[in-house]
Amino acid sequence: MSEWIEAREVCRLLGVKPQTLYAYVSRGRIRSAPDARDPRRALYAAADAALLAHKRARGRKAADVAAGAIAWGEPVLVSSITTVAFGRLYYRGLDAVDLAETETFEGVARLLRGDQASGAPRRLRSPPPSGSNMRARLFAVLADRACVDPPLARSAEADWGGMAATLLDVVTDAVCGVVESGAIHERLARAWGLGSQGQDLVRRALVLLADHELNASTFAARVAASTGASLSAAVLAGLAVLTGPHHGGAHQAVTDLAVEARRLGPGETVTARLAFWRPAPGFGHPLYPDGDPRARALLGAFSPPQAHRDLNAAMTAAHGGSDSANVDFALSALAGALDLPPDAPFILFAVARTAGWIAHAIEQARTGALIRPRARYEGISPREV
């Protein structure tokens, strides 16, 4: 077997469809590189494919299955909120892309938490913390509330809807730097000096990013809620995890890549990435082998900056369309098109995902179960006493 093989040979070796192969590439399990004879096609590392085939044939023990569930593996929690199926994202059975066409963010937030009351009573809100840093204000207000808000385990379930709606307002107040009324997407648009078109794009982004099943930050929020902690503490846990460059901070790597593409040229930038087996940020997603529908929906609603268009075209040419733009790319492009503040993509992500964190925290609290997995110890063997 040669060092590099074509897609059809990998699929035959593994007994999978091309979509599954592309998912393996996106997860970093199989390396790919442009075919020197035809740069529009990709070749795949034969050694990676053989190793994966060996692991699949060997089977896995229960402990290995549990360990594998941590990273894009089998489902580990029961939820009725969100699922990814047939290459689409669904909120309680409704297509998120369809909802983004007409629904408000507040309406989607109620849908996610299963709260049918359209006018949940808001509670009094204090002025947000001062300072020019949106992220710092957001962390500060959540930390303050986590110290004083009642634990979910000691709150009446009838009050959870009002607590949730108030917390969404508090998060928006912190980002905007002022207590205001009105729809959340309108308040964010005013804070960033956007017109009606920008306002609607903010609404679309909030709806599309409101939840994404059991991602890293949502799992953190559920773990916090499983201890009986307050809604604000659960959201604070989710926000802390969101800051990572492999999660809510991924947009910055996309923006940096676009700057690099302007300097070196998009084709050269993509080729250099692939030559060193470095995945290009903003492209591909393990759950969407055929492309991220959130990115398609958002990118189709505005004209991305030229640098992003060129970068997208170069990646499509290099991978034959198998690694299409994901929502991190779309957020970076949106920020560039609307001339938003540098941290705006993260803030949009955080405000939007607050709706999902709240919904998952409430769902977890209803179970009354503590999330407490075990670790498989592989350190120095303890002595028997």
Three-state SS for 162-191 is HHHHHHHHHHHHHHHCCCCCCCHHHHHHHH
Beta bridge partners of 38: 35
Question: For 95-104, how does the pLDDT look when each residue is reduced to its tens digit (9 = 90+)?
Answer: 999 999 999 9
77-385 to CATH, choices 3.30.930.10, 3.30.590.20, 1.10.580.10, 1.10.1740.10: 1.10.580.10
Distances (CA, A) of 366 to 154, 157, 231, 311, 363: 12, 9, 13, 45, 5
Name which of 293, 149, 286 is nearest 230 in CA terms: 149
State the Cα–Cα distance between residues 301 and 101, nearest whole angstrom: 10
The catalytic position among 169, 310, 328, 343 is: 328
The pLDDT of residue 1: 46
Question: For 118-129, how does the pLDDT look when each residue is reduced to its tens digit (9 = 90+)?
Answer: 555 566 788 999
State the Cα–Cα distance between residues 342 and 17, nearest whole angstrom: 40
The pTM of this model reads: 0.81
Kindly list the averaged pLDDT for each block of 10 residues, start to end, along the chain of length 385. Answer: 80 86 81 80 86 72 60 76 94 97 97 74 80 96 95 90 94 96 96 97 98 96 96 98 93 89 85 68 87 96 94 82 82 96 96 98 95 88 75
Active site residue 323: no
Active site residue 285: yes
The catalytic position among 285, 308, 319, 360 is: 285
The pLDDT of residue 75: 64
The string of DSSP codes covering 127-154 is PPPPSS-HHHHHHHHHHHHHHHSPPGGG
